[in-house]
Structure 1
Amino acid sequence: MSNNESFINEVTEEVRRDQLFMYLRRYGWIAVASVLILVGGAAYNEYRKASEEATAQALGDAVFAALDNDDAQARVAALAEIDVTGPAGAVAALLEAAALQETGDLEGAAARLDTIATDPEVAPIYRDLASLKSLMLQADTMEPDARRAALEALAVPGAPFRLLAMEQIAFTHVAAGDNAAAIETLRAVLEDAEVTRGLRDRAQSLIVALGGNLDGSADPGQ
């Protein structure tokens, strides 16, 4: 290799190094920032996870402490002090309503359940459960027709508590003196593939108590 070629190669390498350093000075911050973002994001995720776990632990401790009270009124007061939203808030409110029911305050329990049932921020399954429990508590104070209309909204296909709502609809027919309609509703419950053993037993017992036949034959008096 001649001296000229060697000189040219050295100059070329020097130019390449200068260009590399220039690129690093100009764009190197992007790589550094990317690393910092990745590291910072991972750290934030860990912090958020730890914070959520701590919040859940504190909520669980508060709920268990409230339920540990032997006095129902004390449980009501303790549960009412739990300030939380979302699914956990709905569960705490349901427990508070149950404690109110235990104290004998059925009106207060139903009112607490109604606040859950009408809250658009609460998941539908909790709203439906609260609505069903509220309607059950009002069995003796609400007109059968009005209660049946509200229950029918919970008995539509696909509703999570459809069969339980149908059972309650049967009770509204009994309250209205229409045993035949009650038996028909209970038979529809028995024919459903999703009926549980406990609900099946209750439906069969009520059909017999109302004078119906479990084999589907014509009932006495029809």
Structure 2
Amino acid sequence: MALTPQNNEAFLREVDDELRRDQLMTFWERYGRWTIAAVVVALAAFAGFLYWQHRRAEAAGVQGEQLQVAYDALGNTQPDAAAKTLAPIASEGRDGYKALALMTQADILLSKKQDKAAAAKFAAIAGDASIAQPFRDLALIRQTVAEYDTLKPQVVIERLRSLAVPGNAYFGSAGELVAIAYLDSGRKDLAGPLFGQLAQSETVPDSIRQRAVQMAGTMGVDAAAASVRVVSPASVSAASSKEAPAQ
């Protein structure tokens, strides 16, 4: 008996389904174990990644606590105890903590008047490409401070010129060093305007701004901003005498 179109379509669909089942069984027989193994390996790798992240987070917490212990020791004038705590972080710590530990080690050397050793450690930080750039820039400034008396003014200028610009995070510290180096090299024409920029910058620490106002004033640069104006007794007396007639 001939099949109707509907029966023929149903028959073909059954054959197609049966063929797919056979193909699936053949694939499973050939590759089933390998598939299970691959899934297990993938799950194990994912679990290992999660565990690694967890361990890193735990290690970061421990290193943060160790840094605080070191800073507490420094606050209690115990630099040797602080240095001992910082040593493992400086050698094996995570990037940020490692940089902080290295910087603090160098600062401890500075506090002990070991300027040459401190400068060498700061230089190592500044030249380490694995350390974030803000730390490297700060280390370069600290290195320059540690060895300033042994450097020619032009070396200081060339070293810090790129940082001694308004808008840079370290404009205050780098700018002041460069301005002093200009003075030491006899370039008051460059030192005065730079001190003026420092005095007028709202991002520069007040202590540096006040020094800059005074230095700029000695070179004839009127750079006193209202928020950082340095008022001397003489200026107060002069102001009072000017206001007297109006009263």
The interval holding the TM-score normalised by the smaller chain is 0.7 to 0.9
Q: Which amino acid aligns with 1:111?
A: A
The corresponding residue for 1:218 is none
Shift of 1:95: 0.8
The corresponding residue for 1:60 is 64
The corresponding residue for 2:192 is 183
The corresponding residue for 2:237 is none
Shift of 1:114: 1.3
The corresponding residue for 1:207 is 216
Q: Structure 1: which 5+ residue stretches go unaligned?
A: 216-222
Aligned mates of 2:19, 2:150 — CA distance in 1: 92
Shift of 1:124: 2.5
Match 1:84 to one of 76, 80, 92: 92
Aligned mates of 2:186, 2:20 — CA distance in 1: 97
Aligned mates of 2:190, 2:23 — CA distance in 1: 89
Q: Which amino acid aligns with 2:67?
A: V
Aligned mates of 2:21, 2:193 — CA distance in 1: 90
- 8 Å Cα contact 1:174-1:182 kept in structure 2: yes
Shift of 1:152: 1.8
The corresponding residue for 2:81 is 74
Q: Which amino acid aligns with 1:174?
A: L
- 8 Å Cα contact 2:198-2:204 kept in structure 1: no
Between 114-123 and 87-96, the greater mean CA deviation after superposition: 114-123
Task: Provide closer, same or farther for how the CA distance between residues 20 and 74 of structure 1 changes in structure 2, counting only shifts above 3 A.
Answer: closer
**Once the two structures are superposed, what CA deviation does each residue of 1:49-87 show, in whole Å capped at 9, x if it has no partner?**
112112212322332232332322332343234322533
Secondary structure of the residue aligned to 2:175 is: helix
Shift of 1:162: 4.2
The corresponding residue for 2:157 is 148
Aligned mates of 2:20, 2:130 — CA distance in 1: 62
How many residues of Structure 1 are paired with residues of Structure 2 in the alignment?
Answer: 210
Which of the two has greater helix per residue? Answer: 2
Shift of 1:17: 4.6
- 8 Å Cα contact 1:76-1:96 kept in structure 2: yes
Cα RMSD after superposing both structures: 3.5
Shift of 1:159: 5.6
Q: Which amino acid aligns with 1:129?
A: L
Q: Structure 2: which 5+ residue stretches go unaligned?
A: 2-6, 225-247
Shift of 1:102: 2.0
Matched, 1:196 2:200: no
The corresponding residue for 1:219 is none
**Once the two structures are superposed, what CA deviation does each residue of 1:117-140 show, in whole Å capped at 9, x if it has no partner?**
122333332221101111122333
The corresponding residue for 1:26 is 30
Aligned mates of 1:173, 1:196 — CA distance in 2: 19
